[in-house]
Structure 1
Amino acid sequence: MKRADNFNAGPAALPLPVLERIQDELPNYGGTGMSVMEFSHRSAEYEAIHNDAQTRLRRLLGIPDGYQVLFLQGGASLQFAMLPMNFLKPGEKALYVLTGSWSQKAADEAGRYGELLIDDWAKQGGYRDIPASIAGDDPSLRYVHITSNNTIYGTQWRALPKTTAPLVADMSSDILSRPVQVEDFALIYAGAQKNIGPSGVTVVIVRDDFLETANSDVPTVLKYSTHAQANSLYNTPPTFAIYVMACVLQWVEETGGLAGIVERNQKKAAAVYDVIDTHPNLYLGHAEKRARSEMNVTFRLPSDELTKSFLAEATERGFVGVKGYRTVGGVRVSLYNAVPVEAALRFAEFMQDFARRNG
């Protein structure tokens, strides 16, 4: 079976061993005679899967005691509203650092609930860079919100900021791709569909003392506390997506853990960025070098015609998902955890070949 070199930005590649395991277990999980998709979410069989996913995520990310790990639905887009709904009121202030389209969407939602302070330094520069510092020490701030990686523009906080105000991060596109000091954050949220699983489940990691300050006048199903008290089983969770996530997390542990992920991700990103740096007149990288994302490499070619030619050849060679986001254009190569190093090397070789013929 030939697998595509899948560089989709999300839903993204899943590890082949995980897909093969799912295929094997799909009709009869653990000798139960049922698929995971058929389990009651109140059953002992599903509860074991659910808790296993939580335990593995805690272990891999080093999540300390005093934090809740929630499995929710609605993607990061629901978190854009759920976060301020729980932690912001009229007259209260939050700082939103704009580093891309998704942080802008998060700010747009938060503006419905309280007063926003906006750091738009990166926006003014065309989202090519990440701020060297932010004003996160104002004691009147309810929280500070960042987006750790920007899929559309290919920028990333290479060093995550520390603030005295509670720090919140959307880590949808780089969670579990590198070490993170979870204790520096009051809340982290991430859609699973890029690095840790399939679409359908959203991970929220929230500190207990921050959770205790949440607003009470929130619909029950939209309260973080509701899901924390019920172990994310208040209503029917996305059981199959959580099962797949547990499988992915086990694969991470069996292939070198987070250290192995970091090593492979660095190799992938270096392979593609080295070609960009070798041919700077042909491959016009969007991000400043200090802000380059290891997850999403973005660049253009000198003309629309050459860009179209590049994308057409990439498709012919079996590379999937490398067209830039619809509002930005150009080329985007997403190198999430499950993308094999060999796939990135093949794409880098294609880039070199294209440069020899068109540079």
Structure 2
Amino acid sequence: MANRALNFNAGPAALPLEVLQQAQEQFVDYHSAGMSIMEMSHRSAAFEQVNNETQALLRKLYGIPDSYYVLFLQGGASTQFSMVPMNLLQAGKPAAYVMTGSWASKALKEAKLIGETTIAASSESDKYNRIPDLSSIVVPENASYLHITSNETIEGTQFADYPNVPDNVPLVADMSSDILSRAVDINKFGLIYAGAQKNLGPSGVTIVIVRKDLVSDSLKHVPTMLRYDTHAATDSLYNTPPSFSVYMVNLTLKWIESKGGVEALEQYNRDKTKLIYDAIDLSGGFYRGFAQEGSRSAMNITFRLQTEELEKQFAKESEQQGFVGLKGHRSVGGLRASTYNAVPHENCKTLAEFMQDFQRRNG
């Protein structure tokens, strides 16, 4: 489609065109039901089938064992910042957090409201332009869990590998911005959570993958809606779910499967982000990557130019050329290209060419 924007938004973000077109076809009349999926009861057989199939697809594509629940919740990752400590933080056993940037900071802030916390490692002294060395992460033996943010959307950093934790300490990861963008050994984690609006679908649904032994039904002091056992016991249908968002995740997972699964997407993502990183690295200093090389994200590419004036000019000219979402987050400044699963290779190629042309004209 000629009029599609070159969408590099950080989230909500680009969705696969094929998925949007399929949703459009079924929007008014879902499988000859005479109504949209949005109009159906979440107790209906049709929606229950979508709910179950989406969970099964996610298990298959991500290699999620039967020893984990897959939950579809609401409230975004920001609600998980509270739900995780509400459900997992035990008295006298601090929750350990690796401080990698804006989202890790928000997660820690919420956990502090619930109970005792400790910082296991931090890259704040480097303005969060890197992921702390795994060897520097100190996890207390009695920690309730270790929390990481696998990819920092704002700073553009990503864990290349995951920390090892003592056997009795669950590893918890906020994977909002890189879930299903690369293969992951689920068994390393006690709990993974992610807002869907970057790699899995539209905003509205939050994916939680939690090891069954971590889900307790004895947390009577925690409000019903904020307990994992409530949703595990009801297949995420305790209350009205974000049904349209779950349906869109279903279509997106089928699209991922059609592309060869997570491993194929991982290579695709590497290839397309390399185009943009090469434009930065081969610019002779005209562009400067914000993240240190070993910590660079394959999802969010953050970079600066010599002056803020030049950055404003870049943002303005890129908008005129049909690019969307290239301004950096207000807390960091600069520029940012978010290259999630659904961002096409050709869009990244077009951006790299624009960057080279901008350099020729302004270098």
Count of aligned pairs: 359
Correspondence 1:185-196 to 2 at 5 A: 185-196=189-200
Query: CA 1:103 to 1:280, structure 2 compared with 1: closer, same or farther past 3 Å?
Result: farther
Partner of 1:82: 83
Return the alpha-carbon distance in structure 2 between the equivalents of residues 97 and 284 of structure 1: 26
Return the alpha-carbon distance in structure 1 between the equivalents of residues 308 and 344 of structure 2: 29
Query: CA 1:280 to 1:218, structure 2 compared with 1: closer, same or farther past 3 Å?
Result: farther
Question: Is residue 13–residue 198 contact of structure 2 (8 Å, CA) maintained in 1?
Answer: yes
Partner of 1:354: 358
Match for residue 162 of structure 1 among 161, 164, 188? 164
Partner of 2:279: 275
Question: Is residue 87–residue 215 contact of structure 1 (8 Å, CA) maintained in 2?
Answer: no
Question: Is residue 70–residue 205 contact of structure 1 (8 Å, CA) maintained in 2?
Answer: yes
Partner of 1:221: 225
Return the alpha-carbon distance in structure 1 between the equivalents of residues 301 and 24 of structure 2: 32
Return the alpha-carbon distance in structure 2 between the equivalents of residues 341 and 283 of structure 1: 21
Q: Does 1:330 align with 2:334?
A: yes
CA apart distance, 1:318: 0.4
Partner of 2:30: 29
CA RMSD of aligned residues (A): 1.2
CA apart distance, 1:216: 3.5
Return the alpha-carbon distance in structure 2 between the equivalents of residues 119 and 302 of structure 1: 35
Identity, in percent, stands at: 54
Q: Deviations over 1:294-330 (max 9, x none)?
A: 0000011010111111111111110000100011111
Between 227-236 and 110-119, the greater mean CA deviation after superposition: 110-119
Return the alpha-carbon distance in structure 2 between the equivalents of residues 290 and 166 of structure 1: 25
Question: Is residue 75–residue 205 contact of structure 2 (8 Å, CA) maintained in 1?
Answer: yes
Question: Is residue 90–residue 144 contact of structure 2 (8 Å, CA) maintained in 1?
Answer: no
Unpaired stretches in structure 2, ≥5 consecutive residues: none
Query: CA 1:277 to 1:214, structure 2 compared with 1: closer, same or farther past 3 Å?
Result: farther
Match for residue 212 of structure 2 among 208, 212, 236? 208
CA apart distance, 1:259: 2.1
CA apart distance, 1:119: 3.5
Correspondence 1:258-269 to 2 at 5 A: 258-269=262-273
Question: Is residue 88–residue 215 contact of structure 1 (8 Å, CA) maintained in 2?
Answer: no
Task: Tell me the TM-score normalised to structure 2 length.
Answer: 0.97
Between 186-195 and 159-168, the greater mean CA deviation after superposition: 159-168
Q: Which amino acid aligns with 1:264?
A: Y
Partner of 2:4: 3
Q: Deviations over 1:1-59 (max 9, x none)?
A: 42111000000000000000000001111111110001100000000001111011001
Return the alpha-carbon distance in structure 2 between the equivalents of residues 310 and 141 of structure 1: 46
Partner of 2:132: 131
Q: Deviations over 1:246-305 (max 9, x none)?
A: 000001101111122112101111000001100141111100000000000001101011
Question: Is residue 271–residue 348 contact of structure 1 (8 Å, CA) maintained in 2?
Answer: yes
Return the alpha-carbon distance in structure 1 between the equivalents of residues 266 and 52 of structure 2: 25
CA apart distance, 1:357: 1.5
Question: Is residue 295–residue 336 contact of structure 1 (8 Å, CA) maintained in 2?
Answer: yes
Secondary structure of 1:200's aligned partner: coil
Q: Does 1:16 align with 2:17?
A: yes
Secondary structure of 2:285's aligned partner: coil
Partner of 1:245: 249
Q: Which runs of 4+ in 1 moved over 4 A?
A: none
CA apart distance, 1:162: 2.1
Task: Tell me the TM-score normalised to structure 1 length.
Answer: 0.98
Partner of 2:346: 342
Match for residue 291 of structure 1 among 287, 291, 295? 295
Secondary structure of 1:227's aligned partner: helix
Q: Which amino acid aligns with 2:120?
A: D
